[in-house]
Amino acid sequence: MKNHIKNLKKIPLLAILAIVLVSTITSCTKEDDYKKFTEGGEISYTGKLDSARVLSGKNRVLVKGLFMADPKVTYARIFWNNRADSVTVPVKKVNVVDTFSFFIERVPEGVQNFIIYTYDAAGNRSIPVYRTGRSYGERYELSLANRPIGSALTEQSGVTKITWQGMDRLTGVFATEVEYTDINNKLVKVRTSIDSTTTTLKNFKTSTSIRYRTLFLPDTVSIDTFSTNFVERYVPRFIEDDVTSTYLKNAGAPFNRSTWDNSRWGVLADWTSSAGAKNIANNVYGGYELRGGVGVLSFEGGWGLPRVTNGLIYQTITLPAGTYSFRINGLDQNSGGSRFVAVAAGNTLPNVADITSNSIAFANISDKVLNFTLAQERTVSIGFAVTIDDSGQYIKIGNVRLYKQSYL
């Protein structure tokens, strides 16, 4: 019995010795493994470039970032084009946290992957920093188009005005530049935001030309502005003849009705009103409103009235060749829906969904002006195409006028 107890007492001691032995062997093994990777000394890394960004440009990019507290950094190397190209940039830190900014020129057009290392004087480098950037060049420039001009005229009042058409914002377009000569023979430059539909040229020297181009930023981090080539355009001075009474009936101020509910709503006389425009009293009335004792052309949805769906109100007339301006006066409206003024060939106005593709010319009602040119005598339909909902949307027009323009 005593021998059995004595043997049991030896077991813990043996176990402890075994654990110590295994630990010693394991420690030696780990130390030996580490030496394989640190042979010749411990690995030393320099601080990497923090907050690195690659900004796009014209056949170039701009690499930006921050150097943090590591004072050992003496230069950086940047690789791109699958490491086929690289550049070495000396670094001289002044502050504890310092900025890095370097242009890389002649970068092939397109998306590029960049690898950025920093180095100390002994050649020890940082861990890599991977960033993607883009260079824009000839291919992008060839895709750019000038913003179309709707009209460029010196009006009877002496004011010279350019009316711009819309452009696809996804191209990066943000402005147009116009150069012209003023009455003092001085060159004037004007920049107009893409959000503006008109440019007014102050003191324009009449019967001369303008030069204009369109400006683009291809993306939100572009450091370079791209532009189309300048285009020259002659700006005529013109006079206008009011031909409203010659070609249009019931042009307003006030508008007259053919039928009405003896209270407020009715149907316009001498205008064609589609079923969609008659949204009142079970599709009996619509298009005319007695408002403040004066008849106006009207679209309205809400306050108990249903929505207006594809409401068309127009006149069909025959016009000789020439340039015309159809203008809206006394406009009162809020926003929402689709609201067009348009002129189209034939005896009817296109549906709202087809206005932009099947019209000779169109504009938003809020523009108040529709300019168009006919190369020969044509029968056209001119008027309004509207879809608005029943949330209180409305359009009220006091009168319309049609002008024929003659240029000098």
Token couple for 68 = 């943090």
Contacts of 279 by beta carbon, 8 Å cutoff, 6+ apart = 286, 301, 305, 306, 307, 308, 309, 311
Higher pLDDT, 33 or 219: 219
Decide: residue 308, CB within 10 A, 0-12 exposed, 13-18 middle, 19+ buried. buried
Decide: residue 256, CB within 10 A, 0-12 exposed, 13-18 middle, 19+ buried. middle
Query: What domains lie within the chain, and their CATH numbers?
Result: 50-135 (2.60.40.10), 144-236 (2.60.40.10), 245-407 (2.60.120.260)
Q: What is the DSSP string of 217-230?
A: -SSTT--S-EEPPP
Residue 5, pLDDT above cutoff 50: no
Contacts of 282 by beta carbon, 8 Å cutoff, 6+ apart = none
Higher pLDDT, 238 or 102: 102
Lowest mean pLDDT among 147-156, 323-332, 381-390: 147-156
Token couple for 205 = 């020297």
Q: Which strand ranges, in their side-by-side order, compose the sheet holding 50-58?
A: 85-90, 75-80, 110-119, 129-136, 50-58, 60-67, 98-105
Nearest to 346 by CA among 315, 385, 375, 305: 315
Decide: residue 72, CB within 10 A, 0-12 exposed, 13-18 middle, 19+ buried. middle
Per-residue pLDDT of 152-204, as tens digits, reads 988 878 899 999 999 999 999 999 999 999 999 999 999 999 999 999 999 99
Antiparallel, parallel or unpaired: β 338-345 and 378-388: antiparallel
Cα separations in angstroms, 216 against 53, 119, 143? 21, 38, 11
Higher pLDDT, 405 or 334: 334
pLDDT in the model for residue 14 = 41
Per-residue pLDDT of 10-55, as tens digits, reads 444 444 334 343 344 344 433 443 344 344 445 668 899 999 999 9
Query: Which residues in 145-223 belong to E strands, given as ranges?
Result: 149-154, 160-164, 173-181, 187-193, 198-201, 209-216
Token couple for 296 = 């106006």
Token couple for 195 = 């959000």
Per-residue pLDDT of 63-116, as tens digits, reads 999 998 788 999 999 999 999 999 999 998 888 899 999 999 999 999 999 999
Per-residue pLDDT of 127-138, as tens digits, reads 999 999 999 999
Average pLDDT, the chain: 90
Determine the distance from the C-alpha atom of residue 201 to the mean position of all C-alpha atoms in its chain, rounded to a whole number: 25
Answer whether 0.85 is exceeded by the pTM.
no
Cα separations in angstroms, 1 against 7, 174, 381? 10, 100, 122
DSSP 8-state class, residue 124: -
Token couple for 144 = 């750019």
Collapse the DSSP code of 214 into the 3-class scheme (helix H, G, I; strand E, B; otherwise coil) and give the result: strand
Average pLDDT over residues 113-129: 95
Distance, CA of 388 to CA of 336 (rounded, Å): 7
Distance, CA of 186 to CA of 181 (rounded, Å): 5
pLDDT in the model for residue 271 = 98
Q: Which strand ranges, in their side-by-side order, compose the sheet holding 399-407?
A: 238-242, 399-407, 322-329, 369-374
